[in-house]
Structure 1
Amino acid sequence: MQQLMSDQRSIAYFSMEIGIDEQIHTYSGGLGILAGDTIRSSADLKVPLVAVTLLYRKGYFRQKIEADGWQREETAAWDVEGILEEMPQRTILMLEGRTIHLRAWKYEVKGVTGFTVPIYFLDTDMPENHEWDRTLTHHLYGGDEHYRLCQEAILGIGGIRMLRALGHQNIQSFHMNEGHAALLTLELLDEHTKKDGRAYLIEDDRKAVRSRCVFTTHTLVPAGHDKFPLDVVRRVLGQREDFFALEGVIHDDFLNMTRLALNLSRYVNGVARKHGEATRLMFTGYSINSITNGVHAATWVSEPFQKLFDKYIHIWKQDNFSLRYALSIPKQEIWDAHMEAKKKLLDLVNKQSGVQMDENILTIGFARRAATYKRADLLFHDVERLKRISSQVGKIQVIYAGKAHPRDYEAKKLIQRIFQAKQNLNGDIKLVYLEDYNMTLGAMMTAGVDIWLNTPEPPMEASGTSGMKAALNGVPNLSVLDGWWIEGNIEGVTGWSIGEAVIGNGENRDHSLDAASMYDKLEHTIVPMFYNNRDQFISMMSHSIAINGSFFNTHRMMQEYVLNAYFLC
């Protein structure tokens, strides 16, 4: 199939952050990594997609952790000109009555067959702009609500205008990956009115825009749903009373970006079955579906397992479903590949920390964005019991990583508590917190530990993708039944559950029982199996790949978007 011309692209994918390359610092965590994996699978599957995001010249931040466990942030600038291609096209938008000049930089993602998907990074750092306006594409999730609204206007409004300038005139579906991009609906409304020669909105405009938009919501945390006071909105966007009068645009005197996207999208989905159900309870009256997230298999499978899959499952990169044949791979070769990945990780850990972890000891991994609801410190709820398990049942060592948002002081305190736990363990259990969690470290950890731990407060976990990466590398999950793990857990086959499942909105679930459940699984099942029944443990590794790896990937996810969301009439 020949590469599509630019004006033949039919899907535009908008995301505030995209994690596509370790050298491109335009992501903070799971949302951006998912976006990158989505784009990679689109290229592999020849989905006619174009992606839009912001440039973030100074990145998110580099994480430094002080001796007392307190996180410190450093600028994460990167080589824009050396990595991306500047496009000659220009466009403008008005913010606060000022003209903002906009350019785009292109990065092409090549799929397994050579098909490419372009990503356009929007940039305001140009001499034509006022000094403050030039900073609007400097920092991911930086500044106050005024700065953030300006960024979201650049992404949504400026993104549509840049696509038009680049020649993408025939987009059928505009996919908003979270509500940050919801202002693209305003630009589409304007396009529709101008096409009809009007300067005002009518109901048909709303219907026309709604028929072209797809919206994916990712969070149940209230702070994750952006909303802006009307005075700030009017200051930035101008007096758009016709727009504000549309049903559902203004909610409780705020421009709520999630509700804006909900009201102007023909297809809305959560990112796991349980998340879709919980989102319907959160936003009653809307038709909300679910498409469970995945990860890009070829990106997150470690080199030892890539070689193993190439040997036994030749088409696994093109057809992720074929990973179900992992059950036929000899168990010793599964274990040898795992130990190769584990040694690589522990070499890094020992070099950076000097802790000297042992490759023969059961290693638990926990790495994700630091947020209080993820309960990274649950493992240390009862330090004495944890020490007793390690001394009497089988030795345990633990590796942590994860960044806290610079202004999330509770999350920073959470990281500190893990450092304090290290002191309380008194060397009985080796513990390391690796700083500056990124794509490379994430790939090493999800492949190199023996057990992947996940302990969110349900139902707050939208999906969770780190555990999917672990499963692809044969690492069983020990997780609370939330997000994707409700679908992925087959007890004692693909991993183990912590606590009871959530029913409804989870109000009657006793989260305080989770720590005891976790310790019970470690003491009576996981640690004894690892040390005393290696054959059964490797069998679980094989099933993690064959059952979860073959399904929880972005190839399957993109096929669902194509079938259910992108090409509806």
Structure 2
Amino acid sequence: MLNALGFKVRKYHMNEGHSSLLALELLKQNSLDPNKVKELCIFTTHTPVEAGHDKFDYGLVGDLIQDKNDVEILRKYGGQNYFDTSIFAMNLSNYINGVTKRHSQISSALYPGYKIHAITNGVHSYTWTSPYFRKLYDRYLPDWENEPELLIRVGEIPDTELWEAHWNAKRNLIDEVNKKTGIGMDYDTLTIGFSRRMTSYKRPTLILSDLEMLRNINKRGKIQLIFAGKAHPNDEAGKQIIRDIYKVMKTLRDEIKIAFLENYNMDLAAKMVSGVDVWLNTPNCPYEASGTSGMKAAHNGVVNLSVLDGWWIEGWIEDVTGWSIGPKPDEKISIEETRLAELKDLYYKLYYIVVPMYYEQQDEWFKLINNSIGMIASYFNSHRMMRYYVTEAYL
């Protein structure tokens, strides 16, 4: 289609193995010369899990691709025993990358022998910045939407105006929650948000593991929790997670306000990442290749509290840009010890650091808001990401 329209494509960027049959067509258009195809192709992997890389039995491949020559080409570059779409793409690309530094290391271990670079993901700043912060940035940091690195100058914005913008975004979210659920959340309470796909490795219910600890935290300073997300229709464990959240909501109904927002979409996500006070992320390591919701939150001065996985390893400076949960990625401890350490650390930091700072040390909280914008949002954006792709992969 592109050829028929007269496009002259200099580079083809394959994202995940799903797109790798592109390289088969390019081989056929270039006299089966792999070097010519490599010059045209870039491959980005987005999953750190071996099961996330598509592999197919050659019997099935033969049934679907009738041309025996094509099947032999797939076998030559995609693996002898089964067709691995990622290997096929990597064998026919001159540049391969993961989506964070940590992810590139994990991918290199999954596929030894390939040089896998790292280009850390970013989010589109203007899209994920709330109208209240857009207006503020427009006034103090003109042209920030085209040069998000200007957000590093956030110190020029008075703290009172940053807080007002956050307050308006928070009020917008709380009004939405109360309209949809009738739970009666308020604007003054420390609000913790978790919204993403509801699936087991994301561990949405980690914070609900010990309800007595949660009650103690709530006595130290009132908290309220907002969850949002969808489970895949075939993910029974994911659907059970949502049921578990509703069960805890019922148990804690008279003590801690908890809401689950249904029909999760981009509009609701935008309200969530701008309206909560703390953005919670608790995936099982090392399954978060990148993650981007915390980057979106930072554009709105929301503070991250996250397991050290994906992008947060690069964005995290303890007590400066937010807080970590659990051990560092290179600590040599068992999975069971890691899980216990994460849970203990999560409750410890909420009780001793996060809640007291929010209610008693507003100046310190303002520093975190400033650092979220100036140190995270100024870097973890798609403008920076695209510059890296252009200079490292495309040119």
Seen in structure 2, the aligned counterparts of structure 1 residues 371 and 506 have a Cα distance that, compared at 3 Å, is farther
Residue 174 of structure 1: aligned partner: 12
Aligned residue runs from structure 1 range 78-477, under 5 A: 162-168=1-7, 170-193=8-31, 201=32, 205-238=33-66, 239=68, 240-247=70-77, 249-250=78-79, 253-391=81-219, 393-477=220-304
Query: Quick check: 1:363–1:449 contact (8 Å CA) kept in 2?
Result: yes
Instruction: Give the CA deviation at 1:250.
Output: 2.4
Q: Distance in 2 between matches of 1:215 and 1:498?
A: 32
Residue 306 of structure 2: aligned partner: 479
Seen in structure 2, the aligned counterparts of structure 1 residues 388 and 245 have a Cα distance that, compared at 3 Å, is closer
Residue 549 of structure 1: aligned partner: 377
Q: Distance in 2 between matches of 1:222 and 1:506?
A: 22
Instruction: Give the CA deviation at 1:505.
Output: 9.3
Residue 492 of structure 1: aligned partner: 319
Instruction: Report percent identity of matched pairs.
Output: 47
The unaligned stretches of length 5 or more in structure 1 are: 1-161, 194-200
Secondary structure in structure 2 of the residue aligned to 1:369: coil
Q: Distance in 2 between matches of 1:255 and 1:491?
A: 44
Count how many residue pairs are aligned between Structure 1 and Structure 2: 392
Seen in structure 2, the aligned counterparts of structure 1 residues 448 and 215 have a Cα distance that, compared at 3 Å, is same
Secondary structure in structure 1 of the residue aligned to 2:12: strand
Query: Which letter does structure 1 place at the counterpart of 2:254?
Result: G
Q: Distance in 1 between matches of 2:41 and 2:392?
A: 13
Instruction: Give the CA deviation at 1:426.
Output: 3.4
Residues 38-61 of structure 1 deviation map (CA, whole Å, 9 limit, x = unaligned): xxxxxxxxxxxxxxxxxxxxxxxx
Query: Quick check: 1:278–1:505 contact (8 Å CA) kept in 2?
Result: no
Q: Distance in 2 between matches of 1:402 and 1:217?
A: 24
Instruction: Give the CA deviation at 1:506.
Output: 7.8
* Larger RCO (alpha carbons 8 Å, 6+ apart): 2
Q: Distance in 1 between matches of 2:231 and 2:152?
A: 36
Query: Which letter does structure 2 place at the counterpart of 1:192?
Result: N
Secondary structure in structure 2 of the residue aligned to 1:496: strand
Residues 388-430 of structure 1 deviation map (CA, whole Å, 9 limit, x = unaligned): 1102x10010111111112111111122221222123233111
Q: Distance in 1 between matches of 2:71 and 2:316?
A: 49
Residues 112-159 of structure 1 deviation map (CA, whole Å, 9 limit, x = unaligned): xxxxxxxxxxxxxxxxxxxxxxxxxxxxxxxxxxxxxxxxxxxxxxxx
Q: CA RMSD in A?
A: 1.5
Query: Quick check: 1:452–1:470 contact (8 Å CA) kept in 2?
Result: yes
Q: Distance in 2 between matches of 1:353 and 1:254?
A: 50
Q: Distance in 2 between matches of 1:241 and 1:465?
A: 37
Query: Which letter does structure 2 place at the counterpart of 1:285?
Result: G
Q: Distance in 2 between matches of 1:208 and 1:317?
A: 38
Aligned residue runs from structure 1 range 508-523, under 5 A: 510-523=338-351
Q: Distance in 2 between matches of 1:462 and 1:344?
A: 31
Q: Distance in 1 between matches of 2:37 and 2:149?
A: 35
Q: Distance in 1 between matches of 2:74 and 2:121?
A: 33
Query: Quick check: 2:12–2:41 contact (8 Å CA) kept in 1?
Result: yes
Seen in structure 2, the aligned counterparts of structure 1 residues 437 and 222 have a Cα distance that, compared at 3 Å, is farther
Q: Distance in 1 between matches of 2:239 and 2:262?
A: 13
Q: What is the TM-score of this pair, normalised by structure 2?
A: 0.96
Query: Which letter does structure 2 place at the counterpart of 1:527?
Result: V
Secondary structure in structure 2 of the residue aligned to 1:346: helix
Query: Quick check: 1:364–1:450 contact (8 Å CA) kept in 2?
Result: yes
User: Per residue, is there more helix in 1 or in 2?
Assistant: 2
Secondary structure in structure 1 of the residue aligned to 2:3: helix
Query: Quick check: 1:383–1:424 contact (8 Å CA) kept in 2?
Result: no
Query: Quick check: 2:194–2:281 contact (8 Å CA) kept in 1?
Result: yes
Secondary structure in structure 1 of the residue aligned to 2:2: helix
Query: Quick check: 1:369–1:403 contact (8 Å CA) kept in 2?
Result: yes
Instruction: Give the CA deviation at 1:242.
Output: 3.0
Query: Which letter does structure 2 place at the counterpart of 1:547?
Result: M
Query: Quick check: 1:459–1:506 contact (8 Å CA) kept in 2?
Result: no
Q: Distance in 2 between matches of 1:401 and 1:410?
A: 16
Q: What is the TM-score of this pair, normalised by structure 1?
A: 0.67
Seen in structure 2, the aligned counterparts of structure 1 residues 506 and 207 have a Cα distance that, compared at 3 Å, is farther
Q: Distance in 2 between matches of 1:436 and 1:165?
A: 40
Secondary structure in structure 1 of the residue aligned to 2:215: helix
Q: Distance in 2 between matches of 1:244 and 1:329?
A: 56
Residues 1-47 of structure 1 deviation map (CA, whole Å, 9 limit, x = unaligned): xxxxxxxxxxxxxxxxxxxxxxxxxxxxxxxxxxxxxxxxxxxxxxx
Residues 428-454 of structure 1 deviation map (CA, whole Å, 9 limit, x = unaligned): 111111112111111110000000000
Instruction: Give the CA deviation at 1:534.
Output: 1.2
Q: Distance in 2 between matches of 1:223 and 1:289?
A: 21
